[in-house]
């Protein structure tokens, strides 16, 4: 009975490793990376360079700074005896200034709103694919599962083997970004990977 209990424990680790990597929530790297503009695949609709990507990252970081006051905060400030209205005004004024700075950064980088939307999708797809790799926890759990499966009855072993094959394929897609490359083209994905750490931080995915 040791075999099934070991496999059950490892499967719990697998579920935790893959789900946590997807749930876990920047500063561009110092290297220059690719510098030539590249045309992405037919789904992308943008010309991408490292300079534009840096502009996009700076734009997004500005927009994702201090959030707008919540409805609860608005109510709290409106009920304040002294200075509530002024504090609320200042909060919204700060938000407007930050939005204006972000738009100036976008324009300076030569990014249209359409390009920003495309970059949001592309960088999110890269980050999500990387999150699917599961990290070292998944690799260790898979090795344990492969070692323990031989202790199982044949009918259970087949299901475990299918799980291992599926997760290995997921790891491979995360490593090669094959699905993202198929949609956007190698050049566009390679430009994003020149700033991979900053892109992962933007989308809250821990760097490997």
Domain residue limits, the chain:
2-202
- Out of 120-124, 145-149, 164-168, 194-198, least confident range: 145-149
| pLDDT at residue 31, as a whole number | 41
pTM for the structure as a whole:
0.63
| pLDDT at residue 45, as a whole number | 54
Which tokens sit at 185? 């083209």
Percent of the chain residues topping a pLDDT of 70: 64
pLDDT of residue 128 exceeding 50:
yes
| pLDDT at residue 148, as a whole number | 79
pLDDT of residue 208 exceeding 70:
no
pLDDT of residue 131 exceeding 60:
yes
**C-alpha atoms less than 13 angstroms from C-alpha of 196 in its C-beta half-sphere:** 14
| Comparison of pLDDT for 32 and 74, the residue scoring more | 74
Mean pLDDT of 40-67: 79
| pLDDT at residue 84, as a whole number | 58
Q: Give the C-alpha separation, 135 to 171, whole Å.
A: 9
pLDDT of residue 57 exceeding 80:
yes
Q: Name, in order, each residue with C-beta under 8 angstroms of 65's C-beta and a sequence gap of 6 or more.
A: 98
| pLDDT at residue 99, as a whole number | 84
pLDDT of residue 203 exceeding 70:
yes
| pLDDT at residue 164, as a whole number | 82
Angle CA 164–129–50, to nearest 5:
150
Mean pLDDT of 36-52: 63
pLDDT of residue 186 exceeding 90:
yes
**Which pLDDT band, with edges at 50, 70 and 90, does 196 fall under?**
very high
């Amino acid at each position: 009975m040791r075999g099934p209990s070991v496999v059950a424990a490892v499967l719990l680790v697998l579920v935790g490793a893959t789900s946590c990597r997807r749930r876990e929530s920047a500063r561009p790297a110092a290297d220059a990376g690719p510098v030539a503009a590249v045309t992405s695949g037919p789904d992308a609709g943008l010309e991408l360079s490292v300079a534009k990507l840096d502009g996009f990252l700076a734009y997004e970081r500005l927009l994702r700074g201090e959030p707008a006051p919540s409805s609860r905060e608005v109510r709290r400030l409106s009920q304040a005896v002294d200075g509530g209205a002024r504090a609320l005004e200042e909060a919204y004024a700060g938000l407007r200034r930050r939005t204006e700075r972000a738009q100036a950064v976008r324009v300076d980088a030569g990014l249209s709103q359409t390009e920003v939307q495309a970059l949001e999708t592309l960088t999110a797809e890269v980050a999500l694919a990387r999150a699917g790799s599961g990290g070292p926890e998944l690799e260790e759990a898979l090795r344990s599962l492969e070692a323990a499966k031989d202790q199982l009855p044949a009918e259970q072993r087949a299901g475990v083997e299918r799980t291992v094959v599926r997760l290995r394929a997921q790891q491979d897609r995360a490593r090669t970004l094959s699905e993202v490359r198929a949609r956007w083209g190698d050049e566009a994905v390679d430009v994003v990977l020149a700033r991979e750490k900053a892109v992962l931080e933007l989308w809250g995915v821990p760097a490997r």
